[in-house]
Structure 1
Amino acid sequence: MQKARQTTIVDIANQLGVSPSTVSRALHDHPSISAKTKRNVMVLAEKYSYQPNLLALSLLNKKTGIIGIVVPEITSYFFATVISGVQDMVSSAGYKLLICQSDESFEEEKKLLQDMALLRVDGVLISPTFRTNSFHHFEKLKKTGIPLVIFDRDCPGFEADRVVVDSYDGAYQAVEYLIKTGCQRIAHIAGPIAIPTFKQRLDGYLNAHYDNNIPIRSELIVYSNGFSSDDGVEAAAQLMARREKLDAIFAVNDGVAIGTAHVLRENGYRVPDDISLLGFDDESYAQYYYPPLSTVWQPVYELGMLSAKILLDRFANADQQRPYRYEVLKPELVIRDSSSALARPTSSSALPDQPGIPAVHPV
């Protein structure tokens, strides 16, 4: 079936015996066009279901009204919430959002940025893959005049606007809390340390030990291949195979923590009676898991909104040379039932009804 031809401004102009520029101005309610002409133009536009050619308009205005966002995955609570924050910010400014998923593929990430450059999006927000080890494609995008904001996963040394969460501080809070509950042999299921975010979480784990005079045991650190519950099962199985005595596990994220909890049950351990468990992210399901998961909350929606706002600020000040912004948002510790409680201040053996130390966000 042959595709129906779309009505153009020229078609309307020919029917009315006026110039295409007159039709264009009438459609934009220009004061130089008479009320009668405007009415005649609107009647024909309605009759033929006229739609403006957005590509032609973008070439004319040098603006598409589209912002691209690239995330490693779309389905997770974390990135879905980031996208929600971005959407709320850019839609109120009149922009449309083009959402793309790299699926943790560096090659796909490069291709997506190339496609966005060809589409002439007005700007790009990106959380790099954990395989992104060079920034040539980011630099290439910048050279085309398309501003770029990097969020969540940092790219140290690359000059661009960046918005991240203080993963080091979140991990330090988590491990220090476990230490304060009496844990001495705390395992860490780490993420790929090639990504600064997960290297920071490992550093937080290590420095909490150093500062509390607890020896670092390399045999208590294993590395996850990813961030899902299945990855947690695999990493926790490695940890169990080492047959080390444990009293707590700090997982790189909530998905890995949930997989770890399954392996602990399979091996006869009770959480938190035998081993405390603490994750990172405060995914929406964390509070409904049994036992409810202690974790580190990140201001994810705010991360999306602030990243989008910085990009919109770039648009508003495109003719100015402004320094790049580097914004660091603070996480909060959320204590639930998967970790042992702090001892009462009045008795070293008693347990509190409600745990609490500074920086703990109770739920």
Structure 2
Amino acid sequence: MSGSVTIIDLARELKISPSTVSRALRDHPAIKDQTKVMVQELAKKLGYQPNALALSLLYRKTNNIGIIVPEITSYFFSSIICGIQDVLDPEGQHAVISQSNESYETEKRGIDTLLSSRVDGFLISSTFDTTDYSHFEKLRQNNIPLVVFDRDCEGLQADKVLVDDYDGACQAVEHLISMGCKRIAHIAGPKNLSIAEHRKNGYIDTLKKHNIEIDEDLIVQSQFFQMEDGIEPAKRLLKLKEKPDAIFAVNDGIAIGTLSVLRESNIRVPEEIAVIGFDNDPFSSFSYPSLSTIDQPTYEMGMLAARILLKAISSPDEEREFRHEVLKPELVVRDSSRRK
């Protein structure tokens, strides 16, 4: 038999109705076992493949989940995606991944593209530039489940899975203070990004808790999160009349860039300036010196976000409150800050 084999072809061969073939393939209890075996054996022999589009129209589900992340190549987001897929795969769900490249317009287009593919729900980590959430609100208004992860969209009514960035920053600064540091600088992230603001607030509040005066000169901004984005902010800190004795960077990439500047300036780490990052990317343990950091449970974040989404998809008419899950990060002490 040439071409794609259909249910009608199977029915014609077996001289039974297409509806009987369809129910036999779905193991319907109303169909005799003998008929099921007969249909399934012929389907296997002729290479029958279900029509995914037809099935999705029939059951109004595609088993496709739309995932939008700022970048795919970083360990941080790839680890989250691994957690998501390890939940989706056993459930017969398929991840359809779109990369926004930190562009609000690309993020919006990604949602439209995935909607045209009829995904059953969305898992989204928003961009630096996302301050208008109307494209997310549109999903909710059309009863399309959405789980926001990693980066909070404050004020948006949706399921969320986040990490306690504030607490992580507090742990980082508490550690530096315990090492005897008193002039602790902070290389902050983009101002409109919630995770960057939470980390900055944790830094400020921990200094206040220990009656350490806030010196605005010790707070500098990075434009993005890559290693090269830490170079100019670190150089600005080293030009201060009174240099810092520690630097808390908004993420590990910025911290690695900072370490390279300190190395080029012949500044001993951690003896003269201690450094700590945030994320616990794999490369942080192989930097020189090895980088102290705050470990984020990225894999667990992905798994939990996926489970929440699948629950929302399976119970679309169920009255429920949105879940707001906040995972706890952990301090990882290595050579860049260990003074004792």
Measure the CA separation in 1 of the matches of 2:238 and 2:183. Answer: 14
Aligned residue in 1 for 2:111: 113
Partner SS state of residue 99, structure 1: strand
Q: Is the 8 A contact 2:301 2:327 kept in 1?
A: yes
Select the residue among 67, 73, 77 that pairs with 2:75: 77
Q: Which of these residues, 167, 182, 185, is aligned with residue 184 of structure 1? A: 182
Given candidates 170, 173, 176, the residue that maps to 1:175 is: 173
1:237-256 matches, within 5 Å, as 237-242=235-240, 244-256=242-254
Equivalent residue in structure 1 for 2:232, among 231, 234, 238: 234
Amino acid at match of 1:145: N
Question: Which residue, out of 67, 90, 93, partners 1:92?
Answer: 90
Q: CA deviation at 1:32?
A: 4.1
Aligned AA (1:45): A
Q: Is the 8 A contact 2:143 2:316 kept in 1?
A: no
The answer to which of 177-186 and 220-229 deviates more is 177-186
Q: 1:30 to 1:210 in 2, by over 3 A?
A: closer
- Residues 141-150 or 314-323, more deviating: 314-323
- Say which SS state the counterpart of residue 47 (structure 2) adopts: coil
Amino acid at match of 2:311: D
The structure-2 alpha-carbon separation of the partners of 1:338 and 1:108, relative to structure 1 and needing over 3 Å to count, comes to same
> Could you say what secondary structure the match of 1:132 adopts?
coil
- Structure number with the bigger relative contact order (C-alpha 8 A, sep ≥ 6) is 2
Tell me how large the CA RMSD over aligned residues is.
1.8
Partner of 1:270: 268
Q: Provide the rounded CA distance (Å) in 2 between the counterparts of 1:195 and 1:202.
A: 11
Q: Secondary structure at the match of 1:285?
A: helix
Alignment identity in percent? Answer: 54
Deviation for aligned residue 1:22: 2.0
Q: Distance in 2 between matches of 1:127 and 1:103?
A: 11
Which amino acid in the other structure matches residue 97 of structure 1?
A
Is the CA contact (8 Å cut-off) linking 1:220 and 1:244 kept in structure 2?
Answer: no
Task: For 2:4 and 2:261, locate their aligned partners in 1 and report how far apart those are by CA, in whole Å.
Answer: 60
Q: Which amino acid aligns with 2:337?
A: S
What are the superposed Cα offsets for residues 254-281 of structure 1, whole Å, 9 maximum, x if unpaired?
A: 1110011001111111111211000001
Cα distance 1:286–1:120, how it changes in 2: closer, same or farther (>3 A)? same
Distance in 2 (alpha carbons) for counterparts of 1:93 and 1:41: 25
Aligned to 1:128: 126
Q: Equivalent residue for 1:42?
A: 40
Specify the alignment match of 1:59 in structure 2: 57
Query: Quick one: distance in 2 between partners of 1:224 and 1:194?
Result: 12
Q: Note closer, same or farther for the CA distance 1:287–1:6 as it changes in structure 2 (3 Å cut).
A: same
Match of 2:157 in 1: 159
8 Å CA contact retained: 1:279, 1:296:
yes
Aligned to 1:361: none
Partner of 2:147: 149
Q: Quick check: 1:117–1:146 contact (8 Å CA) kept in 2?
A: no
Instruction: Give the TM-score normalised by structure 2.
Output: 0.94
Could you list the structure 1 runs, at least 4 aligned residues long, displaced by more than 6 angstroms after superposition: none
| Cα distance between partner residues in 1 of 2:244 and 2:264 | 15
Amino acid at match of 2:126: P
Q: Which whole-Å CA distance do the structure 1 matches of 2:212 and 2:202 have between them?
A: 14
Worse-superposed segment, 225-234 or 123-132: 225-234
TM-score, normalization by structure 1:
0.88
Q: Which runs of 5 or more residues in structure 1 are unaligned?
A: 342-350, 352-363
The answer on whether the counterparts of 2:67 and 2:95 sit within 8 Å (CA) in structure 1 is yes
Partner-residue secondary structure (3-state), 2:282:
coil
List per-residue Cα deviations over 1:26-52 (Å, max 9, x = no partner). 222334445554454334423432110
Stretch of structure 1 that moved more, 241-250 or 104-113: 241-250
Partner of 2:219: 221
1:222-260 Cα deviation digits (max 9, x unpaired): 111111111112332333344541211110001110011
Q: 2:19 aligns with which of 21, 40, 43?
A: 21
Number of the residue aligned with 1:308? 306
Three-state SS of the structure 2 residue aligned to 1:50 is coil
| 2:102 and 2:128 in contact (8 A); partners too | yes
1:309-359 deviations in Å (ceiling 9; x for gaps): 211221333221101111111111111110143xxxxxxxxx4xxxxxxxx
Check the 8 A contact 1:117/1:144 in 2, yes or no: no
Contact 2:237 2:243 in 1 (8 A): no
**In structure 2, do the counterparts of structure 1 residues 29 and 309 end up closer, same or farther at CA, with 3 Å as the change threshold?**
closer
Paired with 2:199 and 2:320, the residues of 1 have a C-alpha distance of 31
Amino acid across the alignment from 2:116 = L
